[in-house]
Amino acid sequence: MNNTIVVIANATDTLDFLLKELRAYLEPYCRVIGYASYEHIPDLRGAAHVFITSKSPLLYTIARQATAGEVPITVLNRFFELRKIKALMQIPLGTTVSVMNNSPVSAQEVIDNLLEANIDHLNYIPFHPGCTFDDTTKYAIIMSVPDVPLPPDVEVIDLGFRKISIHDLIDTGRKVGVPIEWEREYLSKFIVEMSELAKMLGTSYAEVQKLNSQLQSTFQAVKDPVIACNEDGLITFINDVAIELFCPQETSVIGRPYTVLKEHDLLLPFFEHEGLEDTLVTIDHRQFIVSSQSIRRSYEHLGFVCTLKDVTEIQRLRTQLTLRGHTATYTFSNIIGESERLMHAIELSKKMAKNNQTILLLGENGTGKELFAHAIHQHSLRKNGPFVAINCASLPENLLESELFGYEDGAFTGARKGGKPGVFEQADGGTIFLDEVGDISPSIQVKLLRVLQEKQVIRVGGTGVLSVDCRVVAATNRDLEDAVSQGQFREDLFYRLAVLPIEIPSLRERISDLPLLIKDHLDKQGIRKTWAPEVMELLLSHDWRGNIRELKNVVDYAITVSEQPVLTIHDLPKRLIDRVSRKSVHEAPIEIADDRDLDILTCLYQYYTANKPVGRYQLAHSPALKATGWTESALRNKLKHLEQQRLVQSGTTRQGTSITREGIEVLRQHGRI
């Protein structure tokens, strides 16, 4: 439960509303669950945070009993949607209004919220079960469902459920790993909604000021300058970063024309025209990329939101990261191959890249797991953040700990003065790639588990807790489930790492990609050489224990020793030829009782060389097999028999059936190829 947010409310309808709102923003980055105060609440000591819906001492006591004092408990800050309080603005000054809720405490909280929102021209009276209406009551405020029956002559104003404060949403989201891109997208939608409400509530200076006070307190979290104007060119909100850039001497610019800003002529196109592309401008010797978004309600134009990104800062950060090697250099286009197994792994990786959960890359050494890690980062929402890679098997335990988590000044002899941040800190806002994660020691496993659970690190020799926001991509060539069963790897850490597992196929599982890999390797070196047919057959029959890394070594050896345009068997490393020879000597030939089996293997080989998948229906209706009397049902049984002999391999419906290396060898032994 340690990545679980819990909500406890008195009423189930309120609980359902709040759960829906929290889940819309926080999931899938954490789990959100809720309980009504009157139902059984289980042990919540493993939760990350517990929210309660009011300051009621009873509600707090219920929550604290469930957490045993080990989990922070906070009262959710909530606010009313402005469109729903418009009716209150039309009630005459000083009118007495009953505010209804299910308890004295919650009713008073609603009144406090109204006063904080500057809806302070009315005389509010708390009303809850047990109270009675008098003859002077003309108005009653309810939250969706009245808690007591209402007299027929009372005008009811339904404010609906109070929404969760955007401060609470953003603060909680940052603690559970919500990407900054999603946070900004949510903020942008909030800007648009607030701007529409400004139009609906009126355009008087006082009303715009009320709206702006809410916007200002919300958008200071945005590090880029942001300015919004209505359709008349009046500024409806501006954050502190923009004020510092455009009008540091002005006390207030809300409600004034944007022309009061310095360099306003550079912004004019973005506040006057729709559909403009991002443009590079220079302000105070700094370069910014300016973009704008039109604010609309249905077909009505309400104004523009203008955002500026500091190019100088972007370039500085990118240069800094590049110098440190903290950038991803490969994309999915750099992964060479067209086999079904590889394409499946790529498509799965692209889908998982958009998520923020931990990815575990599984595969043998030399299959390209690091290449996939780079590509996943480049395809993710964190692509503009750092990409930091570390090989967990290449460092001794004490050095690996300091590299992962950093160390404080004086933590050990020879430590850098002032300390050093670890790779988790360096990857903040981006992706960390933990290669060979299956080889870390038990003590490091415990500390890594804490980082994954709490998203916090403690440097070696330090006591301070540092929050980190990075996406973890791990890789291993070990069978971690087997390591767990043998007690060599923590089970809880395994499940933390293997949230989104991806299997990277070995070269022998996608042997049809071998010619493409060789060609790509030669093209990158500008070498134009071809291979003798018998050499390519030998390469295709090899088991490639070292995968792509071994293949590149063989190619590099051959092009180095050969001076001819065509590479022959004599140009291959002796160890490769010896391994293939020993394999053919020790392997007993597989007996084929029926020549019609060879017909099936021959047909599959033709699809194999064309790098195309084939299903049973298509195979049964191929001219060669149809002529020998094969039906789809008979072919199904025969393929099962051939698969037991490891001559063919059946995949998913999309992958179809393919011939194996053993099947190719049988065809070679019987002179079919």
* Residue 559 contacts residue 522 (beta carbons within 8 Å): yes
Asked if pLDDT for residue 542 goes beyond 80, the answer is yes
Percent of the chain whose predicted confidence (pLDDT) is above 70: 84
Q: What CATH architecture is 595-669?
A: Orthogonal Bundle (1.10)
pTM of the entire predicted model: 0.45
Asked if pLDDT for residue 113 goes beyond 80, the answer is no
pLDDT at 629: 79
From 3.40.50.410, 3.30.360.10, 3.40.50.10700, 2.60.40.10, which CATH number describes the 4-78 domain?
Answer: 3.40.50.10700
Confidence label for 413 from pLDDT (cuts 50, 70 and 90): very low
From first CA to last CA, the distance across the chain in angstroms is 59
Domain boundaries of the chain, sorted by first residue: 4-78, 81-161, 224-315, 334-503, 508-582, 595-669
What number of residues does the chain have? 673
Answer whether 4-78 and 334-503 agree in fold: yes
Average pLDDT in the 459-465 region? 74
Confidence label for 122 from pLDDT (cuts 50, 70 and 90): confident
Distance of alpha carbon 274 from alpha carbon 433, whole angstroms = 41
| 623 cis-preceded (ω within 30 degrees of 0) | no
Q: What is the DSSP letter of 257?
A: B
Query: Comparing 162-171, 431-440, 546-555, which segment has the lowest mean pLDDT?
Result: 162-171
R_g of the chain computed on alpha carbons = 33
pLDDT digits (tens, 9 = 90+) for 595-625: 788 888 888 888 877 667 788 778 888 888 8
**Between the CA of residue 18 and those of 33, 156, 570, what are the distances in Å?**
10, 23, 73
Angle between helices 661-669 and 533-541 (to 10 degrees): 130
Average pLDDT in the 296-307 region? 74
Average pLDDT in the 417-439 region? 83
Residue with tokens 């570390």: 390
Residue with tokens 């590049």: 322
Percent of the chain whose predicted confidence (pLDDT) is above 90: 10
CATH class given for the domain over 224-315: alpha beta
Confidence label for 54 from pLDDT (cuts 50, 70 and 90): confident
Query: Comparing 80-84, 282-286, 354-358, 497-501, which segment has the lowest mean pLDDT?
Result: 80-84
Confidence label for 372 from pLDDT (cuts 50, 70 and 90): very high
From 1.10.10.10, 1.10.8.60, 3.40.50.300, 2.40.100.20, which CATH number describes the 508-582 domain?
Answer: 1.10.8.60
Cβ of 527: how many Cβ atoms within 10 Å? 10
If phi over 0 gives left and psi between -120 and 50 gives alpha, with beta otherwise, what is residue 202?
left
Distance of alpha carbon 499 from alpha carbon 502, whole angstroms = 10
Report the mean per-residue pLDDT for the chain.
80
Q: What residues have CB less than 8 Å from 411, skipping those under 6 apart?
A: 402, 419, 459, 460, 461, 462
pLDDT digits (tens, 9 = 90+) for 226-266: 888 888 888 877 888 888 888 887 777 877 888 888 878 88
From 3.40.50.300, 3.40.50.2300, 2.60.120.260, 3.40.50.720, which CATH number describes the 334-503 domain?
Answer: 3.40.50.300
Residue 614 phi, psi (nearest 5): -145, 135
The separation between CA 358 and the C-alpha centre of its own chain, rounded to angstroms, equals 9
* Residue 474 contacts residue 437 (beta carbons within 8 Å): yes
